[in-house]
Amino acid sequence: MIPENQDEEILCSLKGKFKKDFEMKKDKLFFTDFITVGDCVEYDLNKDGSGVIKKIGKRKNHLSRKLPKVRGASYRGERLEQVVAANIDNVVVVTSVTSPDFNNRVLDRFLVAAESSHLNVTIVLNKIDLDQSDFANDWNKLYEGIGYKFILTSAETNTGILSLKEELKDAKNLFWGHSGVGKSSLLNKMYPELKLKIGEISQFSSKGTHTTVTSVMIKVDENTFIIDTPGIREIDPYGIRKSDLGHYFIEFGKYINKCKFNTCTHHHEPGCAVIEAVEKNRISPERYDSYLRILDTIEDDLNF
Ligand SMILES: Nc1nc2c(ncn2[C@@H]2O[C@H](COP(=O)(O)OP(=O)(O)OP(=O)(O)O)[C@@H](O)[C@H]2O)c(=O)[nH]1
Ligand SMILES: [Mg+2]
Ligand SMILES: [Zn+2]
């Protein structure tokens, strides 16, 4: 049933059959959250105005990561999947100059996760008011050179806020990144009516407290939606084979087909066109280094 007023909020529970489905899937080593932010559902309305979800619509796409190690979530030695969101158009990966410090290898892990789901990506480097050494521009050049939209922002001085807002128009946008980078602060600047909770400096730094605790999708204008997510500490892309990883470093694309072996992992193989491109400075050493580090963390014997 679809409510007449689509902006109405209806508190729903899940029908018991979903639990049974989960038990079955677990046996097949296939785990996914039944339902995630962005899903479309069918539900029955109770007399008291609450709902019971009976069907979850087919997902157009979804974004995943491996469940964090701390939650001990593995099955027969394999880390399981956590679905972050479904049916989204744009992933806004938010990083910050400092507190927490910018780390290009972490950014690349977020990018790999988004690319492997074939999602459009916007990179945001926030807190540029704290950039003493002008290093933000160097990263900007590198990622724009690859073809990414890269926006320098400050929720403190309003730099880049309008360009970012423009980027979000008429799409479902997921804000993703480490805790404390300023996801909620940026959203509040763009849409002051949201009044999202913002962390205190002392809260996120050492103790790693997450200010945003659940993912919520909010409609901000007729066709624009945003999803604020809780910051994460680990980002390990899920379900990626060694032989596919190169495709998710988008600038490797034009070299991959020229490698001597079609199973090339661009690690050590002779006749590797990617390694040659790194040597000729056509692929940045920073990105290639990120690639090698992620490659090293992928288990060879993935079961699909
Ligand atoms: N100097 C400066 N501080 C900022 C900026 N953006 C956010 N902050 C501060 O950074 C801290 C964390 O901001 P939040 O918006 O809560 O960060 P978040 O990414 O939503 O964090 P989680 O909800 O834990 O994932 C707050 O103290 C903000 O005031 C900025 O552009 N410049
Ligand atoms: Mg937040
Ligand atoms: Zn190669």
Is 64:83 a contact under the CB 8 Å cutoff?
yes
Largest CA distance in the chain: 69
Q: How far away, in angstroms, is 183 Cα from ligand 2 center?
A: 5
Ligand 1 atom at minimal distance to the Cα of residue 230: 25
Whether 55 is covered by a domain: the verdict is yes
CA atoms lying within 13 Å on the CB side of residue 273: 14
Give the environment of ion ligand 3: residues with CB less than 5 A: 259, 264, 266, 272, 274
Tell me the average pLDDT of the chain.
Answer: 87
Whether 235 is covered by a domain: the verdict is no
Give, using CA atoms, the residue closest to atom 26 of ligand 1. 199
Task: Indicate if 222 and 94 belong to the same structural domain.
Answer: yes
Task: Indicate if 165 and 90 belong to the same structural domain.
Answer: yes
Extract the tokens encoding 185.
Answer: 């602060």
Whether 161 is covered by a domain: the verdict is yes
Q: What is the 3-state secondary structure (H, E, C) of 158-182?
A: CCCHHHHHHHHCCCEEEEEEECCCC
Task: Indicate if 28 and 142 belong to the same structural domain.
Answer: no
Q: How far away, in angstroms, is 100 Cα from ligand 2 center?
A: 13
Cβ burial of 217 (10 Å; 0-12, 13-18, 19+) is middle
Instruction: Choose the weakest-confidence range: 22-26, 99-103, 295-299, 300-304.
Output: 300-304
List the domain range (segments joined by +) for residue 111. 84-228
Whether 156 is covered by a domain: the verdict is yes
From 228, 261, 289, give the residue that closes a domain: 228
The per-residue pLDDT for 235 is 86
Question: Given 3-state DSSP classes, what are the helix, strand and coil percentages for the chain, each rounded to the nearest 5?
Answer: 35, 20, 45
Ligand nearest, relative to CA of residue 273: 3
Is pLDDT of 31 > 60?
no
Ligand 1: list residues with CB < 6 Å: 126-127, 129-130, 154-156, 179-185, 198-201, 204, 210-212, 230-231
From 195, 228, 261, give the residue that closes a domain: 228
Whether 236 is covered by a domain: the verdict is no
Is 238:73 a contact under the CB 8 Å cutoff?
no
Task: Indicate if 156 and 278 belong to the same structural domain.
Answer: no
Q: How far away, in angstroms, is 299 Cα from ligand 3 center?
A: 19
Per residue in 180-215, pLDDT (tens digit) is 999 999 999 999 999 898 886 544 444 445 677 788
Task: Indicate if 126 and 45 belong to the same structural domain.
Answer: no
d(CA 276, CA 283): 9
What's the start-to-end Cα distance of the chain, in Å? 35
Whether 4 is covered by a domain: the verdict is no
Whether 139 is covered by a domain: the verdict is yes
Ligand 1 atom at minimal distance to the Cα of residue 185: 15
Buried b (16+ CB within 10 A) or exposed e, 62-99: bbbbbbeeeeeeeeeeebbbbbbbbbbbbbbbbbbbee
Is pLDDT of 8 > 90?
no
Task: Indicate if 219 and 257 belong to the same structural domain.
Answer: no
Task: Indicate if 98 and 28 belong to the same structural domain.
Answer: no
Number of domains in the chain: 3
Whether 304 is covered by a domain: the verdict is no
Residue to probe by mutation, ligand 1, list 187, 198, 201, most atoms within 8 Å of CB: 198
Task: Indicate if 218 and 246 belong to the same structural domain.
Answer: no
Q: How far away, in angstroms, is 218 Cα from ligand 2 center?
A: 14
d(CA 64, CA 160): 28
Buried b (16+ CB within 10 A) or exposed e, 103-114: ebebbbbbbbbb
Residue linked to tokens 């661009």: 266
Task: Indicate if 93 and 215 belong to the same structural domain.
Answer: yes
From 52, 79, 106, give the residue that closes a domain: 79
Instruction: Choose the weakest-confidence range: 189-198, 229-238, 265-274.
Output: 229-238
Q: How far away, in angstroms, is 288 Cα from ligand 2 center?
A: 31
Task: Indicate if 114 and 214 belong to the same structural domain.
Answer: yes
- Give 23's pLDDT tier (boundaries 50, 70, 90): low
The per-residue pLDDT for 248 is 97
